[in-house]
Structure 1
Amino acid sequence: MEVTTLSFENMHNHGELFANLLRARHQAFIVQNKWDLPQADGMEFDQYDTPASRWVAVHENGRILAGIRLTPTTHRCGIYSYMIRDAQLGLLSTIPSNLLDFEAPIADHIWESSRVFVSDCVPANQRLRVQLQLRQEMVNSARRLGATSVLGLIPEASRRIGRRVGLECEPAGPILDFDGLPCVCVTINMASKLH
């Protein structure tokens, strides 16, 4: 099992990995979750997949096992910034604007985590290992990018997994229902973990 953080600067070194990540997102979010998201050629993408973002992929023999997208809270592309802030501003009709208890931050040291998934092809006895690899690489990548905090909208049950890898995912808003899946915005303070 390998873990790779992709960027527009390095994706050419990894063959089909980025396209496979977008295909795995298509499977996870469009096929499984039945979310109405942009897609082309069996790949899911949106306005936040820009050169400013990074993508963490857990993979084995070219097969994507899990992924996360990291986006700087300072980035802008047209009218969009990052998903949580744009939802709060009412720019995204599928996510409630009351998802945060405070104004969405814009700061160099805060990044957003989004499009988090573990593939349904991962057997139950390997899921925890894959999730741990994914979270650890997210932390490593965010730290390399200068982040001391990550903001994300996650399934409420995922907070337990964060604790298992030493991350405290503090609720930053109300629990919201996404097609029967309870989700919550969280902040992950990594300042104490930068040593």
Structure 2
Amino acid sequence: MLTTTLSFENLHNHGELFANMLRARRELFIEQNKWDLPEALGMEYDQYDTPASRWVVVHDELGQVLAGNRLTPTTAKCGIYSYMIRDAQNGLLDTIPSNLLYDEAPVSDMIWESSRLFVSQAVPLAQRRPIYFKLVLELTKAARSLGATSCLTLLNANWPLWAKRVGVDMTAMGPVMEIDGIKNQVVSMNFAANLH
């Protein structure tokens, strides 16, 4: 099991890995979850998949994607968009409630957003925990290398059950809310204690 952090600067070094990650996202988010998201060439994408973002991918030696995640700086700007949580709060996304945060969405070089976190449906249940652990470990490493002390993320509201298991300090940043029949909550993953 390998982990790779992709950027527009290094995509060419990793063959089909980026495309495979977008294909895996489509399989889960569009085919399985039935989310109404943009797609092309068998890949899911959105307005946050820009050169400002990074993508953390857990994969095998052949490039089969097991899990993934996107990191976007909270300072990002692309037309009217910034990052998903802030744009939802500002009423730009009709699929996520605008009251998802207790306070105003932050804009800081030291805070990134983690979004589109997934584990492939092809991964057996017994193998998911080590894959989540690898994903979070690489996410932490990538975020710290970018200067982030924390990441905001919208997660299933059961996050307290697995936060300690994967070794991440997490804090609720907004109320529990139902989206597509699933209880979700914005949390902050704190990496400051790990910065050396």
Separation in 2, partners of 1:92, 1:34? 17
Separation in 2, partners of 1:171, 1:16? 36
- When normalised by structure 2's length, the TM-score is 0.97
The CA deviation at 1:62 is 1.5
Q: What SS class does the counterpart of residue 47 from structure 1 fall into? A: coil
Separation in 1, partners of 2:118, 2:158? 13
State the number of aligned residues: 195
Matching residue of 2:51: 51
The CA deviation at 1:63 is 0.9
- In structure 2, runs of 5+ residues without a counterpart are none
Question: Cα–Cα, structure 1 residues 82 and 140, in superposed 2: closer, same or farther, change >3 Å?
Answer: same
Q: 4+ residue stretches of structure 1 with deviation over 3 A?
A: none
Q: Percent identity?
A: 61
Matching residue of 1:35: 35
Separation in 2, partners of 1:54, 1:161? 24
2:186 partner letter: C
Q: What SS class does the counterpart of residue 126 from structure 1 fall into? A: helix
Separation in 2, partners of 1:185, 1:52? 21
* 1:72-103, Cα deviation, whole Å (9 max, x unpaired): 00010000000000000000011000000000
Separation in 2, partners of 1:46, 1:94? 13
Q: What SS class does the counterpart of residue 189 from structure 2 fall into? A: strand
Please tell me whether the aligned partners of residues 135 and 162 of structure 1 are also in contact (alpha carbons under 8 angstroms).
Answer: no
- When normalised by structure 1's length, the TM-score is 0.98
- In structure 1, runs of 5+ residues without a counterpart are none
Matching residue of 2:133: 132
Separation in 2, partners of 1:84, 1:92? 9
Matching residue of 1:177: 178
Q: What SS class does the counterpart of residue 76 from structure 1 fall into? A: coil
Greater Cα offset, 60-69 or 11-20? 60-69
Q: What SS class does the counterpart of residue 70 from structure 2 fall into? A: strand
The CA deviation at 1:159 is 3.4
Let me know the Cα RMSD of the aligned residues. Answer: 0.8
